[in-house]
Amino acid sequence: MARMSTNPTTPLSHIRNFSIVAHIDHGKSTLADRLIQSTGGLAEREMSEQVLDNMDIERERGITIKAQTVRLHYKAKDGETYILNLIDTPGHVDFAYEVSRSLSACEGSLLVVDASQGVEAQTLANVYQAIDNNHELVTVLNKIDLPAAEPDRIKEQIEEVIGIDASEAVLISAKTGLGIPDVLEAIVQKLPAPKSPGGEKAPLKALLVDSWYDTYLGVMVLVRIIDGVLTKGQMIRMMGTDAKYQVERVGVLTPKMVNVDSLGPGEIGFITASIKEVADTRVGDTITEDKRPTAEALPGFKPAQPVVFCGLFPVDAADFEDLRAAMGKLRLNDASFSFEMESSAALGFGFRCGFLGLLHLEIIQERLEREFDLDLIATAPSVVYQLTMTDGSERELHNPADMPDVVKIDEIREPWIKATIMTPDDYLGGILKLCQDRRGIQTELTYVGTRAMVTYELPLNEVVFDFYDRLKSISKGYASFDYHLEGYRAGNLVKMSILVNGEPVDALSMLVHRAAAEKRGRDMCERLKELIPKHMFKIPIQAAIGGNVIARETISALRKDVTAKCYGGDATRKRKLLEKQKEGKKRMRQFGKVEIPQEAFIAALKMGDE
């Protein structure tokens, strides 16, 4: 690791801390790479395709998950050299909370809008978060190399929809590099320098912005210094948890890690301090010096709460311990992912896991399967319900299988979201119908040119299954979507169980709205009928509420034994068949006498065309 001695007294006037806010795919990562490249942060050959998105899955999916930061040195037109700290923010709705905390460490943002697409749902959500954090904004219109780019129209649109002055927007192509020097100059000229109320002589006061686990260095903590100086060897104290640590390493990311001796007011960098787990570092906490603490902590953040839960079970029971170890490893780096052991009659031992949203769930599941080579069954995702019992007590329900006896429940409340959808008006009809079918309540409908912006209140429970997928297919990918949680509302919810061959399959039980139960039950039974292979006997599939069966299908029995043909015949063919069968068995779960293929669980939960 390179060592660099920095002067802790870099004047505040020569520091700019900023984020980039944008809708997914509008070019945030490409722009960040360009900024790094043009300020010499990395030599060309060191630039992997997208430096800031440094996890494999992120790269594959092209989304940014964990906020990262880079320090750039920029020599401006005034002849002075500035330190520019770029804090990357995640671009997806599930990670809105991480966006907010990254923004709180900076004074300004680049608002990047694709000049061929214009303002999208996440442009709005993210820019309002930046404005809430009192950020100054530099508007950047990207992709002006595209023939479809309409910078003038998009400028107007930004003014109209967001209500900010876009007349001085910087026109760029992050792809070709056009306009990048203008962006750097605008950062220095238009964004404010950080402030330090106490200055460098004051007791240390630093914001814990983020933390992550590095295989070689252990827990790394990203900090933003407000007052005082953070140095190597210092004894620090986390004011929220009252934990003390000795600082072992102070550094900055360029994006390579570079050790420095200290960080002064306004600066952003990382420290390591023999911290055991990411969970020991509370994002939003105030870090101070143990022997000379600051009088007042910074206003903290509240921790991100998981909103979607599902069970993850190994297909092969022997993988249970491996699954536990793999989850422990993932959690090291992701404090918002939670898990606890659970056992299910049908699926054996597994874990009940909590996620920030559906994408978060998919990413974790995919990492477990791919990086740790585990075969998993996921149960129906469920939101967190609040129950008021008839005896007046309150409880939370994370798993439909744990639903108490209905006679003991006074009220069930479910989380509602406020969703903003932007779409070309051709697809509006289909989208309104989708929202309506999912119990949505329309609150606003406006037009920006030929694009409609519609806001809906929706129960989160109706969104967790396949809402994104449906929205995408209805709008051929042109609609954009963003949401935030609004709060809990009482609803007429019932637990629907699915019985296969008379046995309840708890992995498929779910809470549904009473009015939608029959239809959902019928859909599930029809789907399962297609998904479960025929057996030697008839298999009834039923959906039930309490003791009442509300839908039923039957899988007819196999008429002939397929392997019978092989007797006395070709031995290799027979062996192959048997091997195939064995292979298939691995991917099945046995329910009583019935084997259900793993894919059936997920497929059965998709709601299909309404």
Ligand X SMILES: Nc1nc2c(ncn2[C@@H]2O[C@H](COP(=O)(O)OP(=O)(O)OP(=O)(O)O)[C@@H](O)[C@H]2O)c(=O)[nH]1
Nearest distance in Å: CB 594, ligand X? 42
The nearer residue to ligand X, 146 or 409, going by C-beta atoms, is: 146
Is cis: bond before 255, omega within 30 of 0? Answer: yes
Minimum distance, C-beta of residue 224 to ligand X, in the bound complex (Å): 22
Does 344 carry a binding-site annotation? no
Q: Binding site annotation covers 81?
A: no
152 annotated binding-site participant = no
| Least distance in angstroms from the C-beta of 25 to ligand X | 4
Q: Name 402's Cβ contacts closer than 8 Å, sequence gap at least 6.
A: none
Shortest separation between residue 493's beta carbon and ligand X, angstroms? 35
Q: Which run of H or of E encompasses 421?
A: strand 409-424
CB of 149 to ligand X, least distance (A): 8
Whether residue 120 contacts residue 420, with contact meaning beta carbons closer than 8 Å, is answered with no
Could you give the CA distance from residue 458 to residue 120 in angstroms, rounded to a whole number? 20
Is there a binding annotation on residue 398? Answer: no
Query: Applying CB under 6 A, which part among 173-181, 226-234, 237-245, 417-425 lies near ligand X?
Result: 173-181
Smallest gap from Cβ 174 to ligand X, in A, equals 4
Tell me the residue number closest to ligand X, measured at CB.
91
How large is the angle between the packed helices 121-132 and 96-103, nearest 10 degrees? 40
Q: Which is nearer to ligand X, 25 or 156 (CB)?
A: 25
**Does 47 interact with ligand X (rule: CB under 6 A)?**
no
Rank residues 35 and 188 by Cβ distance to ligand X and give the closer one: 35
Check if the beta carbon of residue 206 is closer than 8 Å to that of residue 179: no
Nearer to ligand X, 177 or 584 (CB): 177
Minimum separation from the CB atom of position 94 to ligand X (A): 13
Nearer to ligand X, 175 or 329 (CB): 175
Distances (CA, A) of 248 to 142, 231, 245, 268: 41, 9, 9, 17
Interface with ligand X (CB under 6 A), residue from 38, 55, 145, 217: 145
DSSP string, 84-113: EEEE----SGGGHHHHHHHHTT-SEEEEEE
Question: Binding residue per annotation — 143?
Answer: yes
Contact criterion met (CB below 8 Å) for 35 and 52 = no
Q: Kindly state whether residue 448 participates in binding ligand X, applying the rule CB under 6 A.
A: no
Smallest gap from Cβ 320 to ligand X, in A, equals 35
Diameter over CA atoms, the chain: 91
The reply to whether 118 sits near ligand X by the rule CB under 6 A is no
Stretch 54-93: interaction string toward ligand X, x if CB under 6 A: --------xxx--------------------------x--
Closer Cβ to ligand X, 28 or 398, answer by number: 28
In this chain, which stretch among 25-33, 373-381, 426-434, 525-533 interacts with ligand X, using CB under 6 A?
Answer: 25-33
* Annotated binding residue 108: no
Is 333 in contact with 364 (CB distance < 8 Å)? Answer: no
Q: Which is nearer to ligand X, 146 or 566 (CB)?
A: 146
d(CA 208, CA 287): 7
Q: Does 254 bind ligand X (CB under 6 A)?
A: no
* Residue 305 CA to its chain's centroid (Å): 12
Q: Which stretch binds ligand X (CB under 6 A): 137-145, 186-194, 277-285, 331-339?
A: 137-145
The answer to whether 6 contacts ligand X (rule: CB under 6 A) is no
Exactly one of 17, 19, 27, 380 binds ligand X (CB under 6 A); that residue is 27
- Which 3-state string (H, E, C) describes 110-169? EEEEECCCCCCHHHHHHHHHHHHCCCEEEEEEECCCCCCCCHHHHHHHHHHHCCCCCCCC
Among positions 26, 205, 224, 282, the unique one binding ligand X when judged by CB under 6 A: 26
173 lies in the binding site for ligand X (CB under 6 A): yes
In the set 14, 59, 175, 520, which binds ligand X (CB under 6 A)?
A: 175
d(CA 204, CA 296): 11
CB 130 within 8 A of CB 162: no
249 scored as a contact of ligand X (CB under 6 A): no
Residue of 22, 209, 376, 479 interacting with ligand X (CB under 6 A): 22
Minimum Å gap between C-beta 55 and ligand X is: 12
Separation between Cα atoms, residue 10 and residue 320, nearest integer Å: 52
Burial call 416-425: b when 16+ CB within 10 Å, e when fewer:
bbbbbbbbee
- Tell me if 28 contacts ligand X by CB under 6 A: yes
Three-class SS state of 186: helix
Give min distance, CB of 138 to ligand X, in A.
Answer: 16
Give least dist CB 363 to ligand X, A.
Answer: 13
Distance of CA 11 to the CA centre of its chain: 36
Residue 545: enclosing H or E segment and its boundaries?
A: strand 539-545
146 vs 545, beta carbon nearer ligand X: 146
Cβ closest to ligand X, residue 29 vs residue 100: 29
Query: Binding residue per annotation — 26?
Result: yes
28 is an annotated ligand-binding site residue: yes
Between 477 and 608, name the residue whose CB sits nearer to ligand X: 477
- Alpha-carbon dihedral 176, 178, 184, 187, rounded to 10 degrees: -110
Cβ nearer to ligand X, comparing 30 with 286: 30
Q: How is residue 295 annotated by DSSP?
A: S
Structure tokens at 284: 């939003």
Site for ligand X in 543-602 (CB under 6 A): none
In the complex, minimum distance from the CB of residue 39 to ligand X, in angstroms, rounded to a whole number: 18
Measured between alpha carbons, how far is 362 from 56 in angstroms, rounded to an integer? 14
From the list 66, 71, 101, 143, which residue makes contact with ligand X (rule: CB under 6 A)?
143
Shorter beta-carbon distance to ligand X: residue 145 or 159: 145
Exposed / middle / buried, residue 112 (Cβ in 10 Å: 0-12, 13-18, 19+): buried
Q: Which is nearer to ligand X, 143 or 224 (CB)?
A: 143
Please give the Cα distance from 207 to 210 (Å, whole number).
9
Q: Is the dihedral of CA 296, 298, 301, 303 positive or negative?
A: negative
Give contact residues for ligand X (rule: CB under 6 A).
22, 24-30, 62-64, 91, 142-143, 145-146, 173-175
Known binding residues are: 25-30, 142-145
Known binding residues for GTP are: 25-30, 142-145
